[in-house]
Structure 1
Amino acid sequence: MQAARPCVSFTEVLRAATSVGPVGSRQNPRSQPQGDRTVKSAVENLNPTRVRLTVEVPFEELKDSLDAAYKKINQQVTVKGFRKGKIPARVIDQRFGRGAVLEEAVNDALPKFYTEAVNEAELSVLGQPEVDITELKDGETLNFTAEVDIRPVIEIPDYSGIEVEVDAVEVTDEDIDKSVEQLRERFASTTPVERAAEDGDVVTVDLEAKVDGEVLEDGVAEGVSYTIGSGELLEGIDDAVKGLEAGGEATFTSELKGGSAAGREAEVTVKVGQVAARELPELDDEFAQLASEFDTLEELRADSRKRLENMKQFDQATQAQERVLEKLLELVEVPVPEKLLEDEINTRKHNLEHHQLGQMGLTLDKYLELQGKTAEEFETETHEAAVKGIKTQFVLDELVKQEKLNVNQEELTEHLMRRAASSGMSPDQFAQAVVEQGQVPLLVGEVARGKALAVVVESATVKDTNGEIVDLDDEDETETAAEVAAEVTEGDAAAEKSED
């Protein structure tokens, strides 16, 4: 039986989602018919992912922008003898120079003419263009070029022949024993003892950390409860406290995991305040009634088996989607824009250094040391992940268009609720943040790509390691696929963010 969903209002998100076009399509509105306009534009393909637009604009087309420029300058300057805002154009030209007016007018007009040229050529542009004014003759013409990255044209081949192998769903008695034992550990009780601390005992300790002989401001903690052997505190503490009775004290050296001196060696003094022995409850029907809604240990074990099977089925589905995606990418030739790749790599590095590692108090160098990687290996891995992320987004977006897939309100709501849960926010809080940060198109894209990947998985042949055909028909398959696709393109979806 599914848990009841909370009554959540996503009105703002859904309203914003209605303005989002198909994933991968141009979001710029088409220019309206311009009558007898004589603006000319041409497109030159520099490579499969970059074009040069050449635009010729007759000077009369700058009239509106020139008028706006004079009006703006009028509001910013004063000239003796004229009221503010009433300075004639000829006086502005004489006093401040016609060049200043032209510069203001051209800066105002360029985005409009560039957008119209993009729309006329039906380009899906990525990022900002590099604009070069090649000719500007007062009263005659404005000519400029704009180089910009575009989405490559992708041909999706027949993918119905994809075959992958995944782990079989097998739950052993040992798996169930481990699960029940973990539950048993949660219900352990402790009894203070007057003896030396041993493995498995719970000790209450005071800690003091020094670096270079000075006690750290955040290096003192009192009354910390620690289970010997759990590995949850500092390396070396187990050996230090074992053999100590209440009141005993020891000093050891350890590398700090967090705080102001994270990653540095510290001299740590530990004083034991209490030693308590842990006592586990007997594995019987009474324990089942204490730890669950079941009356017997047999029922508890049966439920554990079912939960483990569900978990392994979820892992199996995720594995299938990841491996099908790998096979799909191997089938498709996807050129990657250089500037987009550079931006994606920089985004991934920034997120790692300033968000993930920053929260853990680690530097990139320390992280690489802990991971046992060189800087060169890190650069290679980041490059490969960025390339895969961009290719994944391009291919799945093309499939969304090819298969004419849409995202409905229920699917978006489900995705929002899952994302909210993983972020630790309430659905309403998450929805509000999504709207305020303009992230609705990003989430719509994640769901749409998940649906595209689910279509490919559905047509693929998936077998487990026992040679059995795996049936992945599941109501959560699309959402799981959305999470897989989002994880691969995690670098802030640079391609989607750049396309406007």
Structure 2
Amino acid sequence: MKVTEKQFEACEALLTVELDSDAMESAMDTAYQRLVKRTDIPGFRKGKAPRPILERFIGRERLIEESLEDVLPKACADALKEEQIQSFGRPGIEVIQNDPIIFKARVPLPPKIELGDYKTIRMSPETVEVKEDVIDSMIEHLRHEKATWEPADRPVKNGDLVTLDLESNIDGIRFINQKSAQFGIDEKSNYPAPGFSQEIIGLSRDGEKTFKLKYPDDFAKVELAGKEPEFKIKVVEIKEEKMPPADDEFAASLDVETPTFDTLRQRLTENYRKRMEHLAEEAFENNIVDQLVKMSTIEFPSNLLEMEYERLVNQQMDKWRSQMSSEAELEEFLAKVNPEELSSKLKPMAETRLKISLALGKLATSENLTVGDDEINAEIAVMLSSVPEDQRDNQMRQFDTAQAREQLHQILLSRKTLDRLKAIAMSTGDSASADLEMTAENKESTENKEEATQ
């Protein structure tokens, strides 16, 4: 075996390797021993046919193919050892010539991450302002939910609930025909056709009307695009919405422990503020991580991207599966999925996620961030606190495995790394003071870890 060519591209090594004849002959003999035992050859008992006979029967190419399953992985490993290259995953191997055997190996190498000057990142979460009209809109929505519909002795207005006898056709063909059908009158609605509600407004009980409407040429339902249905309607009943007044009685009726209207408004305001603050915090975290990635140089082998892409595909599959009522429905849906469109959507997401993961991992190393057993134990205790006491022992056994603790370690380390980046971004001092604070944090963390192990 000899390496005839070696190249490096980003985080991959490309080796061209030629096998020597002795190694190939030995591999072919081993392949012959396997194949002859499972091949029926006329005139010979199974396992007794000489190698030349077997080669003529199955073809030399088949024997070479079988032998390569053994020789290629070993030859590739030997080539990496000789060139002192450490593979970051399984190499891809492609045979480019059979006589002699020459193959190319694409060897993934460890990622290369050079962080930018992340201590210059300065950013803060956006200040959340709760506007009164937003809370007014929430209260209005709750009042609509508690509203009743009562008969109205007047012409139809926007917002009414109207019962109609309806007949319609498109070019003489029956379209929508219903007796006592209820329609919510909404000037913005396109149902059952654009402009339908406007035609009803102003009619009184027992009022009749015949009119034509037209669907836009770019209407979402292609079979209706550009069509002109004719409608004939009769108003059977008109109902108007009666909303409860915004008072204490209304607040108490919501069953959410709001005995007064002021209490309701206060609770809605606080909940909305918390939700907006959470969204602002998420946006802040995403922005500072985006800044970190943009200012850094990140290279990685293609196998890492493929692994991340596969994870995203599996997550998408799980999501689709949860939305389907059966495997048959899932298979029917998947038959319509365009693999190229799926790849064009998920590949960029996979690359972004991978860069974020690598950048944060490098940041954790640069900042000497660690997670001790005491922190993992504390996290487990928090998680168990919400578990019923009679189930805690069983749950604890699931947490107390090497795999589960490693997952918690990664979660806590990611959390700690993000917290560190947030502290840097929100710092008002210079980078030296930030370094000093970090040194103190590391010292305290080390001391806590030493105390926990004593």
Q: TM-score range by the shorter chain?
A: 0.5 to 0.7
Indicate which of 237, 240, 245 corresponds to 1:282.
245
Which residue of structure 1 aligns with residue 390 of structure 2? Answer: none
Equivalent positions of 1:57-456 (< 5 A) are 57-58=19-20, 59-60=22-23, 63=26, 67-68=30-31, 70-72=33-35, 74-75=37-38, 77-107=39-69, 109-111=71-73, 113-114=75-76, 121-124=85-88, 129=92, 131-134=94-97, 136-137=99-100, 142-147=101-106, 152-203=111-162, 223=181, 225-226=183-184, 228-229=186-187, 231=189, 233=191, 235-244=194-203, 250-254=211-215, 261=222, 264-267=225-228, 274-291=237-254, 292-335=256-299, 388-399=352-363, 403=369, 452-456=417-421
- Give the match's secondary structure for 1:163: coil
Distance change (3 Å), C-alpha of 1:334 and 1:310: same
Distance of 1:111 and 1:209 partners within structure 2 = 73
Distance of 2:215 and 2:97 partners within structure 1 = 64
Contact conserved, 2:143 with 2:244, CA < 8 A, in 1? yes
Contact conserved, 1:56 with 1:143, CA < 8 A, in 2? yes
Distance of 1:45 and 1:136 partners within structure 2 = 23
Instruction: Provide, for residues 21-74 of structure 1, a one-character-per-residue CA deviation record: whole Å limited to 9, x for no partner.
Output: xxxxxxxxxxxxxxxxxx666984433243202345454377467534653465
Distance of 1:339 and 1:261 partners within structure 2 = 44
Contact conserved, 1:235 with 1:254, CA < 8 A, in 2? yes
- Quote how far apart the aligned CAs of 1:318 are: 0.9
Give the gaps of 5 or more residues in structure 1: 1-38, 365-378, 416-440, 464-500
Counterpart residue type for residue 96 of structure 2 = I
- Quote how far apart the aligned CAs of 1:384 are: 7.6
Moved more, 198-207 or 92-101: 198-207
Q: Per residue, is there more helix in 1 or in 2?
A: 2
Which residue of structure 2 aligns with residue 418 of structure 1? Answer: none
Which residue of structure 2 aligns with residue 16 of structure 1? Answer: none
Instruction: Provide, for residues 239-289 of structure 1, a one-character-per-residue CA deviation record: whole Å limited to 9, x for no partner.
Output: 344334566565433469999748945545665665321111011110001
Distance change (3 Å), C-alpha of 1:453 and 1:203: farther
Choose between structure 1 and 2 for higher RCO, CA contacts under 8 A separated by at least 6 residues: 1
Distance change (3 Å), C-alpha of 1:454 and 1:277: same
Distance change (3 Å), C-alpha of 1:405 and 1:445: same
Distance of 2:230 and 2:99 partners within structure 1 = 75
Distance of 1:212 and 1:84 partners within structure 2 = 78
Counterpart residue type for residue 167 of structure 1 = E
Distance of 2:96 and 2:371 partners within structure 1 = 41
- Quote how far apart the aligned CAs of 1:143 are: 3.6
Distance of 2:224 and 2:310 partners within structure 1 = 25
Counterpart residue type for residue 268 of structure 2 = S
- Quote how far apart the aligned CAs of 1:307 are: 0.3
Distance of 1:79 and 1:49 partners within structure 2 = 49
Distance change (3 Å), C-alpha of 1:112 and 1:60: closer
Contact conserved, 2:121 with 2:425, CA < 8 A, in 1? yes
Contact conserved, 1:254 with 1:267, CA < 8 A, in 2? yes
Distance of 1:448 and 1:263 partners within structure 2 = 56
- Give the match's secondary structure for 1:396: helix
- Quote how far apart the aligned CAs of 1:293 are: 2.1
Moved more, 335-344 or 382-391: 335-344
Contact conserved, 1:206 with 1:224, CA < 8 A, in 2? no
Q: Report % sequence identity.
A: 22
Distance of 2:196 and 2:98 partners within structure 1 = 74
Distance of 1:149 and 1:312 partners within structure 2 = 43
Contact conserved, 1:405 with 1:452, CA < 8 A, in 2? no
Counterpart residue type for residue 40 of structure 2 = T
Contact conserved, 1:203 with 1:276, CA < 8 A, in 2? yes
Which residue of structure 2 aligns with residue 461 of structure 1? Answer: 426
- Quote how far apart the aligned CAs of 1:135 are: 5.7
TM-score, normalized by length of structure 2? 0.61
CA RMSD of aligned residues (A): 5.5
Distance of 1:182 and 1:275 partners within structure 2 = 22
Contact conserved, 2:37 with 2:46, CA < 8 A, in 1? yes
Distance of 1:43 and 1:200 partners within structure 2 = 78
Moved more, 48-57 or 311-320: 48-57
Contact conserved, 1:74 with 1:87, CA < 8 A, in 2? no
Q: Which has the larger radius of gyration?
A: 2
Indicate which of 4, 10, 31 corresponds to 1:48.
10
Distance of 2:13 and 2:424 partners within structure 1 = 36
Distance of 1:175 and 1:165 partners within structure 2 = 24
Which residue of structure 1 aligns with residue 395 of structure 2? Answer: none
- Quote how far apart the aligned CAs of 1:91 are: 2.0
Moved more, 313-322 or 103-112: 103-112
Counterpart residue type for residue 186 of structure 2 = I
- Give the match's secondary structure for 2:55: helix
Counterpart residue type for residue 396 of structure 1 = L
- Quote how far apart the aligned CAs of 1:301 are: 1.0
Distance change (3 Å), C-alpha of 1:145 and 1:382: closer
Contact conserved, 1:62 with 1:109, CA < 8 A, in 2? no
